Every structure is written in C-alpha cells, then in structure tokens.
Amino acid sequence: MTFFIGNMIKYWEVGAEFLDKCLKLLTAFVLFGLMTITCIDVIGRYLFSAPLIGSVELTRLLLGCLIFSALPIITWRKEHISVDIMDSFIPKKVKTFRDNVFNIAIATSLFVIGGKVWGLAERSQRYHEITLYLEIPVYYLTYFLALTCWLTAITSLVLVLTETLNKQYKNQG
C-alpha cells in the first residue's frame, strides 16, 4: 500500500511539473502576443494612420487568457498579494491553519465560479457567439477560463495537503 501511494505521489508530482511548464510557456506566448499586437497597433496607428484591425478584440481575449493561465502558477507559488504585518507574532501552527482555511475557501469559490463559467461557455457555444470584428468564437476562451478556475481550485487543495504534510517544492515561493 505504501508503495502504491509513493508511486501515485511521484506520478502526481511529475504531472504537476509538466503542467507547470506548459502553463508558464502558454503565459509567456500570450504575453509576447499582447506585446506584439500592441507594438504593431501603435506603430501602425501613429506612423501609417492604419491601426491593426481587431487589436482591441485580440487584446481583450489575450488579457483574459493571460490572467487565468497565470492564476494556477501564482497560487502554487504562493505569490498572491498579502498583508503580513502580524505574521511575525502569530505562531506557525496558527498561520498554517489560517492558510489552510483560506485555501479551502478559495478552492470552494473557484469550483463554483468554474461551474458558472462553464455554463456560460456552453450557452455561448449554443448561441454561436463570436467577437464583433474578427468573428472569433467566444466559447473557446470561456471554456479555458472555466478549466483554469478548476485547476486553480485543485492547486489550492493540493496546497492544503502540502502544508499539512509540511512539504515544500523547489518551485514554490
């Protein structure tokens, strides 16, 4: 039984590391795309009086993709904005308990939000919603947002386990 659990943890860690690399790569590509679109749009607008058609739509879509693709990474690395004025006075066990309660609350919230967003994606697909100028189907991004909400929720629950087991990974903050 211990061998089975050890193997499951090992496979989980390898899969999580692969997913971490994929999300970082996706986030980097999206950020590069946003930068490229902005540069082309600004140069076209001010030098040639010809802005990039659909740049506003692409920026909106890519910005949503950027934020949500980085959310699981930020959660895993524990890099959310926090105020830690009192942390030096609070005992470690109390901090761990507090962090676990917050992570469970975050996971619960994101599971619910992911479900709502998934419903919106299904509706968007049913109604064949597209963007105004470039006619990009909206549901692709909406499904992606729901999946990343669920992935972040799972990440929060894994953080509860790692905090409880007092395990720290090299790519965590």
pLDDT tens, position by position, 17-45: 899 899 999 999 999 999 999 999 999 99
Residue 12 within any structural domain of the chain? yes
Question: What integer pLDDT is reported at residue 162 of this predicted model?
Answer: 85
**∠ CA 19-148-16, rounded to 5°:** 20
Residue 104 within any structural domain of the chain? yes
Contacts by 89-98, CB closer than 8 A, 24 or more apart: 96/163, 96/164
- Least confident residue range of 134-143, 146-155, 164-173: 164-173
Question: What integer pLDDT is reported at residue 2 of this predicted model?
Answer: 65
Question: What integer pLDDT is reported at residue 1 of this predicted model?
Answer: 61
Residue 169 within any structural domain of the chain? no
Q: Which domain holds residue 122?
A: 2-164
Question: What integer pLDDT is reported at residue 97 of this predicted model?
Answer: 92
**What gap in Å lies between CA 136 and CA 2, rounded to an integer?**
50
Task: Give the number of domains in the chain.
Answer: 1
Residue 149 within any structural domain of the chain? yes
